[in-house]
């Protein structure tokens, strides 16, 4: 597989449409992108910490789980957003190395195919659990 990928890199070394041609050439990643990735990761971690601290605020009753659910939902949403946007951009860069046209369409379709596979696997697990448990 690496030989095929290397052939693609050698064949298509110059991309005008590619968002970051250094990825296709095997160059070093941009330090600005690296700092952005670490910054977004730190923000996601801080959102998790803030969400975890909300139950300890004295004015919120401990028996009311509505606030806890909202805080955990917010923290999970921020982490998912950061993860998906970083992975999606990275996949566009790598699809750009393989094909000059429609690399963004390939990345988006791969994302949605992944969602469909996940839903299918979830339904399969529920079916198997139902069969196993009676």
Rounded CA separation 96/9 (Å): 10
pLDDT digit string (tens) for the chain, length 134 residues: 466 555 555 544 445 555 555 555 555 556 667 788 888 889 888 887 887 777 777 776 666 677 778 877 887 888 888 888 888 877 877 777 777 677 788 888 888 898 899 999 999 999 999 887 76
For residue range 97-108, list pLDDT tens digits in order.
777 677 788 888
Confidence (pTM): 0.48
3-state secondary structure the chain: CHHHHHHHHHHCCCCCCCCCHHHHCCCCCCHHHHHHHHHHHHHHHHHHHHHHHHHHCCCCCCCCHHHHHHHHHHHHHHHHHHHHHHHHHHHHHHHHHHCCCCHHHHHHHHHHHHHHHHHHHHHHHHHHHHHHHC
Proportion of the chain above pLDDT 70, given as a percent? 71
* 107 C-beta neighbours (distance < 10 Å), count: 19
């Amino acid at each position: 597989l690496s030989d095929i990928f290397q052939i693609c890199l050698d064949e298509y070394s110059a991309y005008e449409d590619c968002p970051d041609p250094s990825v296709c050439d095997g160059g070093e990643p941009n330090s600005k992108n690296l700092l952005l990735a670490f910054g977004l990761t730190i923000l996601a971690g801080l959102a998790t910490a803030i969400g975890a601290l909300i139950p300890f605020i004295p004015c919120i009753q401990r028996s009311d789980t509505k606030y806890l659910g909202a805080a955990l939902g917010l923290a999970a949403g921020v982490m998912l957003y950061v993860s998906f946007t970083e992975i999606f951009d990275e996949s566009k860069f790598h699809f750009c190395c393989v094909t000059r046209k429609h690399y963004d369409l390939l990345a988006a379709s791969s994302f949605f195919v992944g969602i469909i596979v996940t839903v299918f696997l979830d339904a399969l697990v529920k079916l198997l659990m139902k069969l196993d448990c009676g």
